[in-house]
Structure 1
Amino acid sequence: MNIERQYQANTRAATWVERFDRRRTLYIYLALAAYLFANNTINAASVWTEHNRDGVADIQLWEPFAWEYTSALSTLLLFPFLLFAFRHNPPRLTGFGRQLGWHLLATLLFAAAHVSLMVLMRELLYALGGGNYSFGPWLREFWYEYRKDAWGYAVFFCLYLAFRLAYSRLKGEASLIAENEPAANAAAEQVGQQKVPEHFLVKKLDKEFLVRVADIEWIESAGNYVNLHSRGRIYPMRGTLTTIAERLAPAGFSRIHRGLVVNHNAIEHISIQPSGDGEVQLQCGKQLNLSRRYRDAFKQALA
């Protein structure tokens, strides 16, 4: 394999996944807002049709749209809570009862917050129109809303898992080339050293791409993964920041924060604050925090 040619082909590839990743949260919210707007508009039209079946409506046209849109807006406002619940309790093969209990509690909290926000918005809208909104008996109506919210929670959770699976497949995952070279590692171990990798191998859609270690500008911790940042692209890699920092130290990488590692060659300048902390400005324009805990070791590495 011609490494340089493969590398150049990889750097020229600007896939939609990489562009999407830069504003992933924004795009997810826009997609959710579009779905809720379409779905709740259809629901509002259906409610209006039911109330106007005989040609004499007992509600005004704006009312079902107010009901549905306040519900949609409340869901949008609470979506960060849903993401938090999904991320902190993903499906596992063990502790099923505990997982179920967690999600049941999350559905109750979500429904309570959703109904409260929704009713508050409706009361404000009706007050502005000179009317009065009556939610009805709270216990009965909350149970009615809870069933819908619990189902919505389950649907969003399944969609979230499906999206993560598909997205990770498209985005790919990085690994060190040296990990796939047992002969090279064996030779390095004989002289008491660990082979310093020169490339990362990125597997994406059953294809393999090479990314030079020298082009990795900075690395950040992300749970069980670390994210490798190279020329505006992000490559996730399973592992800890401590391990990757130690492995890449001979290649000119240093830890500057509990969650950050930087490539010396990507640095434009460094500034130190009176508190002892500082900032590392990269040539790409990114600014990273420098913790005083790692400052001295970082200076020694640069020297």
Structure 2
Amino acid sequence: MTSGGDRGLSGEQLKAGSLRDPLPIAALAFAAFGSLYMVVNAVTLIDQRRALGQPIAKWQAWVLEGTSFAAWLALLPFILMLAARLVSRPLPLTTLGHAAGCIVVSLVHTALMVGLRIAAYALAGDHYAPTERWSDRLFFEARKDLITYISILAVFLVARQLVAPRMAIRPSPTLEAPLIEVRDGSRVVMLQPDEIDWVSAAGNYVELHGLFGSELARRKLADMEAELAHHGFVRVHRSRIVRRTAIASTETKQSGDFEITLRSGAVINGSRRFRQNLLQDAFRG
């Protein structure tokens, strides 16, 4: 399940995991529609400049549009991973995170795009020199980049919704699984164990995460772990437990800690101290 020598998923499992993971689906969708958009923009630019009596070399039009798209493709993994990390966070934190992410992405996109254009023009024996000031350029690109950034987030959220029915369809058990009671004051929510992807400690509460969003319950994580252990939940951090069948992949860092990507697209951190729990559970299966 983990990176390097620990990636023990079979080909069928990897294929099934990809079909239920919104990240590669969103990436492929953006690449496909982005390619089409790039072609349309390049052809339109050539036609418009010809109509205005200011013709542009075809290679220049393709470089101008292609470098922007190439820069977006380079930034796409960062944007999607940020979206996956923030998808289950409170709305204010999600909004703040994406606002900061959009600013960083726009600055990097503009710098990378201009750098690629300078290199491409140099290879063609020409010189690329924008006439506008950098401040004007950044503001102009920021308006377009905001729309593209939001579009990528929208594609990710749509992909996440599309895979949700696949994740919800499970074989009917012979005996109905017991419901987990989530009580917070006078409010009670009943959840099936396989509806819960992971649980995190939150002070005197635990927070349950899944396709339903998140629910707070005034319970200890240790008690929750004991109740869910028979349903395939393992501790991966002193403040987190996760349902093993909700895991799409894991990646080990140099420190020995690891990142867990869930089939929902969410990404959570695991501690090397509890890494053996996943391995032991895999051997039992």
TM range (shorter): 0.5 to 0.7
Select 2:139's aligned residue among 137, 143, 147.
Answer: 143
Instruction: Output the CA distance in 1 between the equivalents of 2:105 and 2:111.
Output: 10
1:152 lines up with 2:148 in the alignment: yes
Aligned ranges 1:277-296 → 2 under 5 Å = none
Alignment deviations for residues 137-192 of structure 1 (CA, whole Å, 9 cap, x no partner): 2111111111000111122223322332232134217799332499xxxxxxxxxx
Report Cα offsets for 1:33-53 as digits up to 9, x if no partner.
111110011001111101111
Cα deviation for residue 103 of structure 1 reads 2.9
**In structure 2, what residue type is equivalent to 1:159?**
V
> Which of the residues 110, 119, 122 maps onto 1:124?
119
Aligned residue number for residue 85 of structure 1: 82
The alignment partner of 1:177 has SS state of: coil
- Structure 1: which 5+ residue stretches go unaligned? 1-13, 183-199, 204-219, 227-234, 264-288
The residue matched to 2:146 in structure 1 has which SS? helix
Q: 1:35 to 1:295 in 2, by over 3 A?
A: closer
> In the alignment, what sits opposite 1:29?
27
Among 75, 94, 102, the residue aligned to 2:72: 75
Aligned-residue Cα RMSD (Å) equals 4.7
C-alpha distance in 1 between matches for 2:152 and 2:275: 41
Residue 110 of structure 1 aligns to a residue whose secondary structure is helix
Q: Post-superposition shift, 1:236?
A: 11
Distance (Å, rounded) in 2 between the aligned partners of 1:42 and 1:241:
54
- More displaced 10-residue stretch of structure 1: 30-39 or 84-93: 84-93
Code of the residue aligned with 1:149 in structure 2: it is: D
Partner Cα distance (2:76, 2:44) in 1:
25
Q: Distance in 2 between matches of 1:93 and 1:250?
A: 30
Pair 1:254–1:120, CA change in 2 (3 A): closer
Closer, same or farther: CA 114–222 of 1 in aligned 2, 3 Å:
farther
Residues in 1 aligned to 2:105 and 2:234: alpha-carbon distance in whole angstroms: 40
2:177 is the alignment partner of 1:178: yes
Deviation at 1:28, TM superposition (A): 3.4
The answer for the alignment partner of 2:104 in structure 1 is 109
Q: What's 1:216 paired with?
A: none
Instruction: Identify unmatched segments of 5+ residues in structure 2.
Output: 1-11, 182-191, 201-207, 246-269
How many pairs were matched up?
215
Distance (Å, rounded) in 2 between the aligned partners of 1:242 and 1:117: 48
Counterpart Cα distance in 2 of 1:90 and 1:254: 21
1:1-303 correspondence to structure 2 within 5 Å: 18=16, 20-21=18-19, 25-53=23-51, 57-90=54-87, 95=92, 99-136=94-131, 137-172=133-168, 177-180=176-179, 225=209, 246-247=226-227, 255=234, 258=237
CA, structure 1 residues 255+291, in 2 after alignment: closer, same or farther (shift >3 Å)? farther
User: Which residue is equivalent to 1:274?
Assistant: none
Q: Contact 1:70–1:118 (CA<8 Å) still a contact in 2?
A: yes
Deviation at 1:131, TM superposition (A): 0.8
TM-score (norm 2): 0.57
Give the partner amino acid of 1:121: L
Aligned to 2:188: none
Q: Tell me if the contact between 2:26 and 2:156 (Cα under 8 Å) persists in the aligned partners.
A: no
The structure-2 alpha-carbon separation of the partners of 1:131 and 1:170, relative to structure 1 and needing over 3 Å to count, comes to same
Once residues 221 and 30 of structure 2 are traced to their aligned partners in structure 1, the CA distance between those partners, rounded to angstroms, is 33
Shift of 1:90: 3.7
With a CA cutoff of 8 Å and minimum separation of 6, indicate the structure with the bigger relative contact order: 2
Question: Could you tell me how far 1:84 is from its partner in structure 2?
Answer: 3.2
